Amino acid sequence: MNVKIEEKNGKLYVKISILEYSKSRKRAKVVLRDVEQLLKERNIKHGKCLKSHKVTNRTDQTLSGLFVFESYVPAPEKKITPKRKPKRTKRKAPSKTSTKK
């Protein structure tokens, strides 16, 4: 499996190509999950996937594919605000209702 990784214009391009099927090689399939795992092994951070392909060695058209990811942008730090405790209010005595007639 040949892998080429390039970063252009704020995007990460991963081009994958595999060898043709033969009796000595088993059938292969590369999907998005496999590419994400490959990037994780190489310690390459990326954003969400913009374009993906299913690469297999069954036909000539699917021997290679291009996966496009957003470049990694760290999330901004959230400001932590202290929680306010609710103020205690005075307890009111239950109102008396007249039940006499």
Other beta carbons within 10 angstroms of residue 90's beta carbon come to 5
Looking at residue 100, its pLDDT comes to 61
Helix (H) or strand (E) holding 38: helix 32-41
Its pTM stands at 0.68
**Amino acid in position 70:** E
Average pLDDT over residues 83-98: 75
Cβ–Cβ < 8 Å for 48, 73: no
Instruction: State yes or no: pLDDT of 30 exceeds 60.
Output: yes
Higher pLDDT, 95 or 37: 37
Instruction: State yes or no: pLDDT of 69 exceeds 90.
Output: yes
Percent of the chain exceeding pLDDT 90 equals: 36
Looking at residue 15, its pLDDT comes to 93
